[in-house]
Amino acid sequence: MAAISAGKSSVTARAPGKINLHFGVGPLGDDGYHDVASVYQAVTLYEDVTAAASSEFSVTVTGPAATPDIPLDSSNLAVRAARLLAEHADVAGGAELTVHKNVPVAGGMGGGSADAAAALLACDRLWHTNLGKAELAELAATLGADVPFALLGGTAVGTGHGDKLTPALGRGRYHWVLATSETGLSTPRVYGELDRQRSGSGPAADPSIPDVIMHALRLGESGLLAASVHNDLQQAATALEPRLEEVLHVGEKAGALAGLVSGSGPTIAFLVPHAEQALDLALILAASGAVDGVHRVTSPAAGARILRPHDGHPAGTGSSYA
């Protein structure tokens, strides 16, 4: 393919964070990875990535969830995504990326994956490579298991390493309160703790999706969904970060239908019946001193999309409490 020269404009794309309504983890494979069976749902907490034409690749990170720990070199997932697309489509030039972060770093919500998905979509439009989401999803899968879902959004079942996605039928809108921590949890460390906990109980079963959670999603019933959410990594995450148990206790005592660690944590997602209960719970959690931040969000949310110039920040980023 002939090289494609980048124009002088800029493009902003938005991609959602996620929670895992179900996360089953299989045994450690010979490749060093675990097969999983996950039900993803995108939430209304977003990452925005602006791509501007440049001769090189660079990234700047802003926003309420920006931290000094985020790499600003070629290891940054948004930069890796832009470079991957440039190599795939033979693009001449680079991109200056600006990431506006709302999703907690290392919080189990796929914030870095959302950055990558938004970068792919923004650069595809900036460079007029016109790959479309199907081809972008193939590239996304090489960057990480959660990146294809950030492109897709909505609700989906993930198998394999989590990147083999099947959109799931569902009804209704769900109200969540997310309790976040300024201290992230390392995903490999949480998986390692899970393996340690399982070491004396024989090989783990192959993961699968229970029928009960798919039935709850088809009916759109918050109560049924609350009774069926599950995360195999939760016990490992709470062992590594014991204060998560306190947060779960506060939320459930305050009337949440269910509380679960999102992915590898430490973010905890509390399901509530209505927006009014979400506000009440958010205030209780914020006043408890047990959490560093609180967000009210809904799900499912749309996948990655191009923002129009007037969309801007911080539209659609949920309601937050420090």
Backbone angles phi, psi at 20, to 5 degrees: -105, 110
**Number of domains the chain is built from:** 2
Q: Quick one: pLDDT at residue 212?
A: 96
Q: Quick one: pLDDT at residue 316?
A: 46
181 is in an annotated binding site: no
Q: Quick one: pLDDT at residue 204?
A: 82
Tell me the per-residue pLDDT of 262-289, one tens digit each, with 9 for 90 and over: 999 999 999 999 999 999 999 999 999 9
184 is in an annotated binding site: no
- If one counts every other C-beta atom within 10 angstroms of the C-beta of residue 62, the result is 13
Q: Based on the fold, state whether residues 97 and 199 are members of the same structural domain.
A: no
Query: Do 11 and 48 meet the contact criterion of CB atoms below 8 Å apart?
Result: no
Q: What is the CATH number of the domain that holds 192?
A: 3.30.70.890
Question: What kind and span of H or E run contains 49?
Answer: strand 34-54
Q: Would you name the residues annotated as active-site residues? A: 18, 146
113 is in an annotated binding site: yes
Handedness of CA 226, 231, 232, 235 (dihedral sign): negative
Q: Based on the fold, state whether residues 78 and 105 are members of the same structural domain.
A: yes
85 DSSP 8-state letter: H
Report the mean per-residue pLDDT for the chain.
91
Handedness of CA 259, 261, 262, 268 (dihedral sign): positive
106 is in an annotated binding site: yes
The model's pTM is 0.90
111 within a domain of the structure (yes/no): yes
Q: Based on the fold, state whether residues 160 and 190 are members of the same structural domain.
A: no
Q: Based on the fold, state whether residues 198 and 83 are members of the same structural domain.
A: no
Tell me the per-residue pLDDT of 29-45, one tens digit each, with 9 for 90 and over: 888 889 999 999 999 99
114 is in an annotated binding site: yes
Identify the residue with better confidence: 8 or 11: 11
Domain of 155?
A: 7-168
Average pLDDT over residues 97-118: 94
In which order are the strands placed within the sheet that holds 268-272? Answer: 258-261, 268-272, 174-180, 293-299, 319-321
Which of 125, 140, 168 finishes a domain?
A: 168
Q: Quick one: pLDDT at residue 311?
A: 61
108 is in an annotated binding site: yes
274-300 burial: b if 16+ Cβ within 10 Å, else e? eeebbbebbebbbebebbebbbbbebb
Q: Based on the fold, state whether residues 180 and 43 are members of the same structural domain.
A: no
110 is in an annotated binding site: yes
Handedness of CA 158, 164, 166, 167 (dihedral sign): positive
251 is in an annotated binding site: no
Question: What kind and span of H or E run contains 58?
Answer: strand 57-62
Which of 168, 193, 220 finishes a domain?
A: 168
Half-sphere exposure of 67 (CA within 13 A, CB side): 15
Which of 135, 168, 201 finishes a domain?
A: 168
